[in-house]
């Protein structure tokens, strides 16, 4: 019997729908494993189709093409190590989330996912059928158990594999990022190794897909829960992990142990990777955004420059009569600090033309929010014109606090194809700005240093749509607003629970009213990087028309 076993782990980044491209990536990684003397090359869950492909997987022509690609891949990878790859499998009128074991030119085994997640961003119960509990598969004389992602969160699958002869567990995953997710994964996997007494290798996908970012962070544990290998978060990595067999069975040899960054860095890296992949996978190489001189557009410009390079980011200042000189200077400073192109496009002339056109219809009616929103919508029109003309994706810049309460103009400053900070509360925007000013990493493409001027961070937030306007004129101060929103949105708290936590009842009810009233805006808003388990889109699905108000 062999006493050593090498697994090449592909913490890699497939593209949803690019079956041929994903198969080509799989072949390239398999060749790396073959060159390294691997016994098995393992890729993540649903790798051949990309993940999370949602209802696309239900389309027969799509899942049939994916299955055919796996069959071809088996033939292409006949002479070398076993290859494990995830994909859909249709049989007898049912569709499964499967993990294929390819060896000697054939699909030698299929593992079918049993526990289908039906929470947060996942709707697998409506897409896939549940597979039966199965046993391990063989690679040479070694028997391996592969619970697929969610299957490893329940003890029955791993226990069944252990009882039917598995010698170690290799778990393929498509597990998206949210804060503290890594520690949750590791705690659950420690429970599995303690229950089974088997070593465990947890392989996770990396890369952005729509709002989700798969954060990698793959790891290996030995019986008892000792960490043997830790791969980096958010980085595309191919690693060779070795196991040896002794008197007590298989053990994972100590390997690289990447440092796990703090949560601010994890959030920032997720936003950079999410935007980078959204652009790359949708075919855009350049972006533009309205740079107002405020903190939100400053951090979005920084994220964009870090994601694709400052040369590919256009910043546009669109001043009105209410734009302060300090805002003009702050916007210019941010663009210059980053090294981005900077355009100056005043909107006064266009605003005069629009208000003049509407004057006969508005005669006898006092100016109000309508005139403020005209300014925002003019900016959206001009930015979209630039986007159309130059093929640059427009980024929108509303933070989660504003998105929650509708403090944004639909078809105005909400216009755009992607919003990197959509799941970042305003108070956390301040923290992220200070963090980025003091930190720089190799995966950041923009300049190091304090790229966001201190005045941008410390000045009172304002939309500058009327004289002396401040956000606090319309909303509670952001620490209060965010505290209420974290309870109402992230914790599903009631009004009375918010009041018991120390918030004023009138402010809680105001925020609740704005939250529900703004659902129609969020329904039409751009996607953005998911950072929490209560991001606006798939995590939290509320009716647009809704008269419910929690009275206390």
Q: Just list the catalytic residues.
A: 45, 113, 149
Q: Which two tokens stand for residue 375?
A: 């300014």
How many CB atoms sit inside 10 A of residue 264's CB? 16
Residues in the chain: 552
**DSSP classification of residue 69:** H
Q: For 75-82, which contacts have Cβ atoms below 8 Å and span 24 or more sequence positions?
A: 75/105, 76/27, 77/27, 77/30, 77/102, 78/104, 78/105, 80/30, 80/31, 80/33, 80/34, 81/8, 81/30, 81/33, 81/34, 81/38, 81/39, 81/40, 81/41, 82/39, 82/40, 82/41, 82/108, 82/139
Coil, helix or strand at residue 34: helix
Helices of type H across 93-137 = 124-127
Coil, helix or strand at residue 5: strand
Coil, helix or strand at residue 184: helix
Helix (H) or strand (E) holding 17: none
Coil, helix or strand at residue 209: strand
Rounded-to-integer distance, Cα 134 and Cα 88, Å: 17
How many CB atoms sit inside 10 A of residue 157's CB? 25
Q: Do residues 213 and 6 touch, judged by C-beta distance below 8 A?
A: no
DSSP-assigned beta bridge partners for residue 86:
99
CB-facing half-sphere around the CA of 470: CA atoms within 13 A: 7
Question: Nearest CA to 99 among 159, 42, 59?
Answer: 42
């Amino acid at each position: 019997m062999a006493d050593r076993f090498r697994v090449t782990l592909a913490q890699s980044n497939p593209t949803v729908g690019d079956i041929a491209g994903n198969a080509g990536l799989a072949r390239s990684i398999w060749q790396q494993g073959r060159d390294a003397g691997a016994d098995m090359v393992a890729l993540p869950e649903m790798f051949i189709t990309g993940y999370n492909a949602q209802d696309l997987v239900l389309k027969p022509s799509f899942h049939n093409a994916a299955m055919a690609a796996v069959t071809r891949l088996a033939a292409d990878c006949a002479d070398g190590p076993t290859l494990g790859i995830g994909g859909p499998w249709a049989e007898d009128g049912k569709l499964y989330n499967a993990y294929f074991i390819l060896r000697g030119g054939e699909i030698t085994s299929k593992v079918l996912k049993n526990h289908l997640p039906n929470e947060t961003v996942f709707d697998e119960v409506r897409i896939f059928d549940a597979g039966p509990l199965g046993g391990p598969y063989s690679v040479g004389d070694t028997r391996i158990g592969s619970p697929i992602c969610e299957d490893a969160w329940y003890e029955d699958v791993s226990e069944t594999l252990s009882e039917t002869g598995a010698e170690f567990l290799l778990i393929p995953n498509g597990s998206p990022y949210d804060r503290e997710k890594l520690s949750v994964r590791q705690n659950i996997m420690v429970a599995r190794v303690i229950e089974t007494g088997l070593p465990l290798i947890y392989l996770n996908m990396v890369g952005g897909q729509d709002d989700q970012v798969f954060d990698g962070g793959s790891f290996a544990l030995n019986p008892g829960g000792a960490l043997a290998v830790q791969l980096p978060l958010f980085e595309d990595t191919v690693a060779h992990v070795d196991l040896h067999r002794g008197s007590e069975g298989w053990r994972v040899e100590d390997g690289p142990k990447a440092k796990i960054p703090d949560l601010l860095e994890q959030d920032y890296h997720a936003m950079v990777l999410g935007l980078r992949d959204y652009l790359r996978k949708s075919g855009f190489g350049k972006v533009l955004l309205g740079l107002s001189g405020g903190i939100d557009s400053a951090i979005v410009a920084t994220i964009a420059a870090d994601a694709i390079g400052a040369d590919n980011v256009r910043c546009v200042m669109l001043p009105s009569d209410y734009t302060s000189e300090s805002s003009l200077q702050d916007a210019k400073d941010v663009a210059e600090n980053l090294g981005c192109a900077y355009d100056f496009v005043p909107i006064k002339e266009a605003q005069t033309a629009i208000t003049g056109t509407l004057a006969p219809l508005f005669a006898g009616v006092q100016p109000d929010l309508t005139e403020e929103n005209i300014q925002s919508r003019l900016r959206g029109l001009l930015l979209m014109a630039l986007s159309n003309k130059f093929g640059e994706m427009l980024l929108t810049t509303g933070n989660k606090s504003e998105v929650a309460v509708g403090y944004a103009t639909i078809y105005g400053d909400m216009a755009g194809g992607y919003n990197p900070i959509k799941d970042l509360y305003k108070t956390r925007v301040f923290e992220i700005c200070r963090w980025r000013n003091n930190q720089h990493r190799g995966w950041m493409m923009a300049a190091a240093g304090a790229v966001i001027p201190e005045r941008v961070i410390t000045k009172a937030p304002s939309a500058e749509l009327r004289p002396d306007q401040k956000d606090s004129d319309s909303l509670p101060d952001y620490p209060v607003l965010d505290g209420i929103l974290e309870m109402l949105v992230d914790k599903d708290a009631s009004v009375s629970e918010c009041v018991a936590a120390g918030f004023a009842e009138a402010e809680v009810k105001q925020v609740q009213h704005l939250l529900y009233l703004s659902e129609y805006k969020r329904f039409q808003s751009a996607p953005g990087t998911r950072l929490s388990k209560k991001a606006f889109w798939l995590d939290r699905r509320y009716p647009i028309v809704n008269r419910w108000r929690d009275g206390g």
